[in-house]
A and B are shown apart, each in its own frame.
Chain A
C-alpha cells in the first residue's frame, strides 16, 4: 500500500488541532508507514493571539500565551520549522508545495491554515506611527510600555477596514483600556483622558452583541464612531484624516489594520477576487466559485474567504470538522461533515479591578442560528479567563 501524504501549511491553532486529531485516530496507519502527516511553518513557537488583547493590562503574561510548537503537536506528526518550513509556492495542479529552503513537498491531501497578517501599506502614514496588539508579542509589549508611561491624553483605537481577524478584539480592548486608565492609572474621565473608538462598519458584531457593546461604550463615556473610513495618518501632527474630510487628533493611536493572507498564497495565484483563499463554506474545501475546485485541499481558519468570519472560536470548530473530513477521506468514507458556521466572540463588559468583578460572556452563533440576547456575568468572565489557561492542553491537543 503506497504511503498517503497529508501536508499541513501552518502550525498554528488549526494546523496543530487537525494534526493532533488525525494522527491520534490514524496512529496505527502512521505506525505501519501507510500515512505521513507533515506540518510546515516558518515559526517554531506558538502564540495564543487572542491573549494579546490582555497583555497590555497585565491580565496575561507572555509565558501564559507562548508555547514551543513542537510540544503541542503529537510526536506522530512530522514538523518542519524554519526556512525548510517557510512556504513560497503552492501548486494545486501539481499537488506540491515549495519552501524557502528549496525543498518540494508533494501531497495527497493539503490543509492550508497559514492565517493572515496586517496590511500596513493599505493606509498611508500608518507605518510611521503603528502601535498595536495585533501583530506579535514584541509590538504588544511595546504598547504596554507606552500605556504605562503615558501621562495623560487622547487615545484613539482605530480599525482601518475589514476583514480583521477577531473583530471583537478592538472593542474588548476599549473596555479593558477604560478600566485600566480609570482604576490603575487613576485618570479622571473627560479631564485627563479621552478614549475614541473608530470602526469601519455600522455594527460591532451581530445585533445582540452590538446592542450591549454600544451601551457599554456609552456608559463609559467612550466616543463611539461607526462607518469611519480613514484615508491617511499624519504622524507629525498626530492626526487621522477620514474619507469624509474629518480630522481626528490623537496622543496615542492604537491601530488594528485591515489584514491580508500570507504572501505565499498571493504569489501562488490561488487567491480569489477579494484576495483571500476561496472555499465552500460548509466543506471548507478549496473552491473558487466552482471554476476551480480541489476536493483534496482544505482551507481553514483566518486564511479563508471573507464571508467566513475570522475568529478563534470559528477556527476551532472548522478545525474539528476538517479533521473528521480528512479522516473520512483517508478511510475512503464518502461522508462530508459540514461546518455549520459555529463562531463567536467573547464579550467583555468590564475587567476585574479593585472596585468590581469582571463581567463577560462567550457569545456564539452559527450561519443560520443567530446570536440570542445574552447577559455578561462574573462566571462568564472567569470561564473566559480560564479558557486561555487550559487552551494549550485541551483545545490545541484536540481533546475538547
Chain B
C-alpha cells in the first residue's frame, strides 16, 4: 500500500483558520430573511446605478471631460461668469455641443420621470 503524506497545520495557521470559520458563523447568525431582503434591496439600488453607468457612453464623455486641463485651471481659479458672459460663451462650438448633450439628457429625464 502506498503511504500518503498527511499535512498538519501549524498552530498559527490553525488559529487563522478558526478565526475565519468563526467569522463565517458570525455572519451566518446575522442573516435572516429580512436581512437578505434588505441586502438585496440595497444591491438592487447599487445595480441600478451600475446599469446607468455601464449602459451609456456619457460616462466616457464625463471621464474625459473631467480631466480637461481647462477644467483644472478653472477649479484652481474659478472664472466669474454672469449673464452677459454666459451669452458670450454660448457662441463657442464646444459649449454649444455640451449644451446639446445636457438638454437632451434633461429631456430624457423628463420623459423617464413621466413614465414611472
Interface residues of A (CB under 8 A from B): 317, 320-321, 324, 337, 340, 342, 344, 361-365, 372, 374-380, 383, 398-400
Contacts and interface: CB of A to CB of B under 8 A. Distances in A.
B34 A320 contact: yes
State the majority secondary structure of interface residues on A.
mixed
Interface of B: 18-20, 22-23, 25-26, 29-30, 32, 34-35, 38-39, 41-42
B23 A377 contact: yes
B26 A362 contact: yes
Nearest to B41: A399
B19 A400 contact: no
State the majority secondary structure of interface residues on B.
helix
Given A320-B34, A340-B32, A399 B26 contact: no
Nearest to A344: B29
B38 A320 contact: yes
A277 B88 CA distance: 70
Contacts of A364: 26, 29-30
B49 to A, nearest CB: 14
Nearest to A342: B32
Contacts of B29: 344, 362-365
B17 to A, nearest CB: 11
A379 B19 contact: yes
Contacts of A374: 22, 25
Contacts of A398: 38
Given A362-B29, A364-B29, A399-B42, A379 B34 contact: no
18 contacts: A321-B34, A324-B34, A337-B34, A342-B32, A361-B25, A363-B29, A364-B26, A365-B29, A372-B25, A374-B22, A377-B18, A377-B22, A378-B19, A379-B19, A379-B23, A380-B23, A400-B35, A400-B38
